[in-house]
Structure 1
Amino acid sequence: MKLAKYTKEFRQNITLAWPVILGMLGHTITGIIDNIMVGKLGTAELAAASLGNSMVFIAISAGIGFSTAITPIIAQYDAEKNTEKVRSVFHHGVFLCTILGLLLFGVVVLAKPLMHLMDQPDEVVVLAAPYVDWVAFSLLPMIIFQGYKQFADGLSFTKYAMYAVVISNVVNILINYLLIYGIWFFPEMGIIGAALGTVISRIVMLVYIHYMMAGKEKFKPYFTKFSFSNIKKSMLRRITALGVPSSMQMLFEVALFTAAVWLSGSIGKSSQAANQIALSLASMTFMFAVGLSVTAMIRVGNQKGHKDYRKLLLVARSIFLLSVLLEIVFAALFVIFHNYLPKLFLDMNDASLIVENTEVITIAAELLLVAAVFQISDGIQVVVLGALRGLQDMKLPTVFTFIAYWVIGFPVSFYLGLYTPLKATGVWIGLLAGLTAAALFLYIRFNYLTKKLLAKA
């Protein structure tokens, strides 16, 4: 009977989460499509795309992390029926996302020389450098899109971003196909074709969500009265105070996974390619937990606005339970298919690549077994983090994530990866250690805060 009160919330959780999940999967699938198509060109090209995407993904994560601050504030004001405040948060949020997108583009382009300093294979760096320039530019439409998405999510309209991402993926696949391989009269551009596909598809994504939402009657009150004179320091500070710690939380985790790419690259290009394959698959399943994390932000933010703390706790725990059940299913799938899944990313019919491809598959299969275990920890930490964002508790969780990923996770990855025979598998055991520590620290924090809220109620 006690369990039933949590499972009763599953329907509403799933209703809010599934469009977010599909939208986030769309972002991940963009990268997976690039990897599969580029992987057909050879291991060096796949490793180059992996290295380039690892740099850009850090910036994307910082931008997405920052933008998530918009959702719980919108959810709180929406629960309070405060249209003026909702509009203000939306306008200030998109303004900040535009500035951040420009800054991140510049930072990634200026950071390209780091690839030479990270002991990466020369042939991989040469291929990756021009790829990074184009994909870095796609950060601008991507981060602005996030401003629109988080606004709509905060109002519990989670489908609009999903539609935009689906259309974006169709565009990406088409342009990739034409430009990577030089189909019809289009030039054969290799991995640069994949980069152009990403840029164009993300511009389409932003344009679509703007015109889709601006044309809807229910959104019209929020699309009026924008002017730079209405930009107020107080609201910029409010969003930034939540956005910066939120950005840092995501940055710490993604930087750890990026470090795994670089550590794998220093071991060898086969390890780096295998790391990218396993990471692509683990990222795809992780998006289900991210969807539930957004649901936690929305629903916990709503209950914070209503000041119904008992309902808040019930909702949060139901989301935690649903996430754990989903991640157990994914863990089982990774174990069952760990030898088969890596083959989807490589051309097994090319006799000249059979030796190096076989090595990549062997390493990737081992990594998927580790990924099967950390699915559960990863799912827990991200949904609890979503609930904490809904409570607008950011500062201490940021410290916890830094300790978990960089005081615990990275040293384990570094030592086991570079100084033991475990190599790439050792790198991923470090990821498991960091994610497990984060899940534990964040849940303790959430439990402490909700006990305090209930004591005051």
Structure 2
Amino acid sequence: MNLSQYTKEFSYNLRLAYPVILGMLGHTLIGIVDNFMVGNLGSTELAAVSLGNSFIFIGLSLGIGFSTAITPLIAEADAKKDDKKIRTTFHHGLLLCTILGIAVFVLIVLSKPIMNLMNQPVAVVKLATPYIDWVAFSLIPVIVFQGYKQFSDGLSQTKYSMYAIYLANVVHIFFNYVLIYGVWGFPKLGILGAALGTVISRIMMVVFMHFILRKNAAFKRYFKNFSFKEIRKSILNKIINLGFPSAMQMLFEVTLFTAAIWLSGSLGKNSQAANQIALIMASTTFMFAMGFSVTAMIRMGFHKGSKDFKSLIITARSIFLLTIIFEMFFGLIFVVFHNYLPHLFLNMSDPTQVLDNAEIIIIASKLLLVAAVFQISDGIQVVVLGALRGLQDVKIPMYITFVAYWVVGFPTSYYLGKHTNLGATGIWIGLLAGLSSAALFLYIRFARLTKRLALENS
């Protein structure tokens, strides 16, 4: 193997990936800010935000997963220089994202009674209920934003969504601060203030993105003359046929992690808070893999459009290698600092929280050691999924992810977490098993598919 043919692709891959990574970290920053500010109110409030966000993550996964169908279609049309197809895909995709956003909001609000059946602490459920209502509403602008983002990503213009997300973060930090703590004349709303801060910032995110793209000379022509008369069932079906399995793939993984939150909650609020801390850390590093996944999707879509399958395989392997290097680095950080990182999310100066904090730190530090190992599996599976989406191969990967996460991962988490002394650590070992299975079988799928495509087009 000539390593240089892969490493020479690193610089272009990083140029495409870094705005996506920073944008994803911007999304995560919204959650981190919520947890950091709410964590100062107490462990019950932190657990309530964790429980509430477990519902939101499910809706968000559907929206993000579905919207990824737009990127490979745009990238393929871009390779063919087909402006009409780019514009049509964008308009149809944006319409479907708007409809899905409204549907997901209604679905999450209606699903709140499930919390009462989940063996969660009563005080946590009481605080989480109004929080869910507002943050669920914020999913409408988030999913619409995804329509804009996937469109610009498909044209290899990944930095505009990053700008919009960071402008939204400035808005979010301000409103979170004044509404949670009640400063400068604003009402003191506690975790409800965090929810309202999220809603305001996500509405602004869509507004920023719309104007950034519409005012740009390269994008302006794709915004003209939107009309419902131009909507075609065949194009809607094409996006849905790609979007639905992609949404399911993401849903299967996110619901596995959500189940881990719920299982941790059933072990007690300190296990749930520790799970939330470790999940924030793992989610932050996962954003790098997500950035490389989008890069894989864009570049596979472009190579598919230009029918250059030899370059496609080299590009894909270079992205996989880059992901492994990054995830090994993060895994090492988790191992070295596993006893120190949990302190960042707790109010260590509050004497009433001393006992809770001590237990949370012990549990969270063990979870970070498991997270250090599954960084690599998690990175590989999401990047290979991105590459397969770029090739518009989504149905078989949907079945692979279901089996990996719900036939292998969840039963392992449930048994080790509830029926052994491992507790929360056992739950995370189950996550590792699911992610490793997904990584292995998705890579086998990609290798076979690309080998066949290369032979057919040689």
Scaled by the length of structure 1, what TM-score is found? 1.00
Q: After superposition, where does 1:373-412 map in structure 2 within 5 Å? A: 373-412=373-412
Equivalent-residue separation in structure 1 for 2:394 and 2:347 (angstroms) = 45
In the alignment, which residue of structure 2 is the partner of 1:47?
A: 47
Following superposition, the deviation at residue 283 of structure 1 comes to 0.2
Tell me the SS of whatever aligns to 1:349: coil
Equivalent-residue separation in structure 2 for 1:421 and 1:76 (angstroms) = 51
In the alignment, which residue of structure 2 is the partner of 1:124?
A: 124
Following superposition, the deviation at residue 133 of structure 1 comes to 0.2
Equivalent-residue separation in structure 1 for 2:426 and 2:116 (angstroms) = 24
In the alignment, which residue of structure 1 is the partner of 2:102?
A: 102
Equivalent-residue separation in structure 2 for 1:3 and 1:345 (angstroms) = 41
The one-letter code matched in structure 2 to 1:188 is: K
Equivalent-residue separation in structure 1 for 2:115 and 2:7 (angstroms) = 48
Q: Deviations over 1:364-423 (max 9, x none)?
A: 000000000000000000000000001000000000000000000000000000000000
The one-letter code matched in structure 2 to 1:161 is: S
In the alignment, which residue of structure 2 is the partner of 1:238?
A: 238
In the alignment, which residue of structure 2 is the partner of 1:76?
A: 76
Tell me the SS of whatever aligns to 1:356: helix
Is 1:334–2:334 an aligned residue pair?
A: yes
Following superposition, the deviation at residue 28 of structure 1 comes to 0.8
Tell me the SS of whatever aligns to 1:442: helix
Equivalent-residue separation in structure 2 for 1:401 and 1:119 (angstroms) = 28
Is 1:261–2:261 an aligned residue pair?
A: yes
Equivalent-residue separation in structure 1 for 2:241 and 2:107 (angstroms) = 22
Tell me the SS of whatever aligns to 2:219: helix
Tell me the SS of whatever aligns to 2:3: helix
Comparing 27-36 and 244-253, the one that deviates more: 27-36
In the alignment, which residue of structure 2 is the partner of 1:92?
A: 92
In the alignment, which residue of structure 2 is the partner of 1:111?
A: 111
Equivalent-residue separation in structure 2 for 1:365 and 1:188 (angstroms) = 33
In the alignment, which residue of structure 1 is the partner of 2:438?
A: 438
Q: After superposition, where does 1:22-421 map in structure 2 within 5 Å? A: 22-421=22-421
Q: Deviations over 1:323-347 (max 9, x none)?
A: 0000000000000111111111110
In the alignment, which residue of structure 1 is the partner of 2:2?
A: 2
Equivalent-residue separation in structure 1 for 2:30 and 2:342 (angstroms) = 17
Following superposition, the deviation at residue 221 of structure 1 comes to 1.3
The one-letter code matched in structure 1 to 2:251 is: L
Equivalent-residue separation in structure 2 for 1:337 and 1:178 (angstroms) = 32
Instruction: Detail structure 1 runs of 4+ shifted over 4 Å in the superposition.
Output: none
The one-letter code matched in structure 1 to 2:93 is: G
Equivalent-residue separation in structure 2 for 1:76 and 1:282 (angstroms) = 32
Equivalent-residue separation in structure 1 for 2:27 and 2:61 (angstroms) = 12
The percent identity for this pair of structures is 65
Following superposition, the deviation at residue 240 of structure 1 comes to 0.3
The one-letter code matched in structure 2 to 1:344 is: L
Q: Deviations over 1:248-276 (max 9, x none)?
A: 00000000000000000001000000000
The one-letter code matched in structure 1 to 2:223 is: F
Equivalent-residue separation in structure 1 for 2:438 and 2:29 (angstroms) = 26
Following superposition, the deviation at residue 174 of structure 1 comes to 0.8
Equivalent-residue separation in structure 2 for 1:281 and 1:32 (angstroms) = 9
In the alignment, which residue of structure 1 is the partner of 2:20?
A: 20
Following superposition, the deviation at residue 455 of structure 1 comes to 1.0
Equivalent-residue separation in structure 1 for 2:187 and 2:354 (angstroms) = 28
Following superposition, the deviation at residue 225 of structure 1 comes to 2.1
Equivalent-residue separation in structure 2 for 1:300 and 1:212 (angstroms) = 26
Following superposition, the deviation at residue 216 of structure 1 comes to 1.1
Equivalent-residue separation in structure 1 for 2:266 and 2:12 (angstroms) = 46
Tell me the SS of whatever aligns to 1:2: coil
Equivalent-residue separation in structure 2 for 1:176 and 1:363 (angstroms) = 28
The one-letter code matched in structure 1 to 2:60 is: I
Following superposition, the deviation at residue 71 of structure 1 comes to 0.2
Q: Deviations over 1:162-203 (max 9, x none)?
A: 000001111111111101111121111000000001000000
Structure 1: runs of 5 or more not aligned: none
Following superposition, the deviation at residue 21 of structure 1 comes to 0.3
Following superposition, the deviation at residue 97 of structure 1 comes to 0.1
Q: How many residues in Structure 1 have an aligned counterpart in Structure 2?
A: 457
Equivalent-residue separation in structure 1 for 2:57 and 2:398 (angstroms) = 19
Equivalent-residue separation in structure 2 for 1:212 and 1:182 (angstroms) = 33
RMSD, matched Cα: 0.6
Equivalent-residue separation in structure 1 for 2:155 and 2:243 (angstroms) = 18
Q: Deviations over 1:294-330 (max 9, x none)?
A: 0000001000000000000000000000000000000
Equivalent-residue separation in structure 2 for 1:344 and 1:197 (angstroms) = 22
The one-letter code matched in structure 2 to 1:250 is: M
Following superposition, the deviation at residue 356 of structure 1 comes to 0.5
The one-letter code matched in structure 2 to 1:273 is: A
Equivalent-residue separation in structure 1 for 2:358 and 2:44 (angstroms) = 15
Following superposition, the deviation at residue 29 of structure 1 comes to 1.1
Equivalent-residue separation in structure 2 for 1:119 and 1:230 (angstroms) = 50
Equivalent-residue separation in structure 2 for 1:27 and 1:196 (angstroms) = 16
Following superposition, the deviation at residue 217 of structure 1 comes to 1.2
Equivalent-residue separation in structure 2 for 1:450 and 1:218 (angstroms) = 32
Q: Deviations over 1:211-265 (max 9, x none)?
A: 1111111111100121001010000000000000000000000000000000000
